[in-house]
Homo-oligomer: A and B are copies of this chain.
Amino acid sequence: MKEFYMNLAFNEAWKYQFLTYPNPAVGCTILDQNGKILAIKAHEKAGFAHAELNAIAHAFKSLKPECSLPQESNALHEFICKNHQGMFKNNVAFLTLEPCSHQGKTPPCAKLFSELGFKKVFISIKDENKIAAGGLDFLKKQGVEVELGILQEEGKKLIKPFLKWQKGQFKLFKLALFMNGSPFGKIVSNELSRTYAHKIRSVIDLLVVGGSTIRKDHPILDSRLAQAKAPDLCILSREKLENFDKNIPLFKVPKRRIYTQIPNEAKFLMYEGGEKFLKIVKDEIDMFLIFQNSNFNTEKNVTIPLNFKPLYRNFLGSDTYGIYEL
């Protein structure tokens, strides 16, 4: 069953993949001393609670629904350490990544497990980040049992974007299709899918688009469904920037920077476009985010031969989506 519980943590973590930028996506499942599931939570966004703290807070709340917990991570961490009254004694946790042992924006998660009296922590993979690593050894020293390597292939997949944007640039291509492979239609993906895409737009350094999309679709390319900041843009086009019609909504987004070449300092880039743009840029892309609705239309399909290796797939309402590598 340890793979089962680890898998629950993975599934939860993937739901927030990309949204945690610049942090890694991490998931955490907590079982009480009798093996009952208390929480399955993930790190949801940089600055918010780490997966471990989020899961423990959720478990705390389910055991003491009358308590109101502070929202801010440091206060939350402190509150739990002060008020746990041994409620997590002999509990077990499943982590997709070694817990951090450093004081970052939030206190170290490894310490949380030992302070709360956890019996055992299952970890998928070690953290190769020099600053945050060391949680595993810390736990062992504090007498918490540790088992490393549960579903480690899954662990490696989950952390791939993080490793990439940490070292340099990570390029994600977003594509929206009908189930019959056609990209043509006014609105292809449903609101849940578009909201996820808008959330990604709100955290990336740069949204990269081709000139033809802009001329054809007159898009705004903002993050309205996430009620968040619109991304800066890079327009890759043979056309000079001054020649585009400045009435196209994307040019009217306040404070938006628009580039015509990709700046080196941009670490997380999302490319959006159709078949033509995909064909031009595909070889430089790290991962593909493909949304598919559940309808067939009468339009032709994308016919670029590509063999995608799925890293993760799930459903958003009637849409299916997947995160792929070539």
Flag A118-136 by CB within 8 Å of B: 1 or 0 each.
0000000000000000000
Number of A residues contacting the other chain (C-beta, 8 Å)? 39
In the bound complex, CA of A214 to CA of B179 (Å): 26
Instruction: Tell me if A90 is interfacial: C-beta within 8 Å of chain B.
Output: no
Flag A291-326 by CB within 8 Å of B: 1 or 0 each.
010111111111111111110010100101010100
- Name the B residues within 8 Å of A304 (CB-CB): 296, 298
Flag A179-215 by CB within 8 Å of B: 1 or 0 each.
1111000000000000000000000000000000000
Contact B34 A308 (CB under 8 A): no
The answer, among B37, B296, B298, B308, for a CB contact under 8 Å with A179, is B308
Top-6 shortest CB links A-B? A181-B181, A35-B36, A180-B181, A301-B301, A34-B34, A296-B306
A-B contact pairs, 28 of them (CB 8 A): A32-B34, A32-B35, A34-B35, A35-B35, A35-B37, A177-B181, A178-B181, A179-B181, A179-B292, A179-B308, A180-B303, A181-B181, A181-B296, A294-B307, A294-B310, A294-B322, A295-B305, A295-B308, A296-B305, A296-B306, A296-B307, A298-B303, A299-B303, A300-B301, A300-B303, A301-B301, A309-B318, A313-B315
A residues whose Cβ falls under 8 Å from a Cβ of B? 1, 4, 31-32, 34-37, 177-182, 290, 292, 294-310, 313, 315, 318, 320, 322, 324
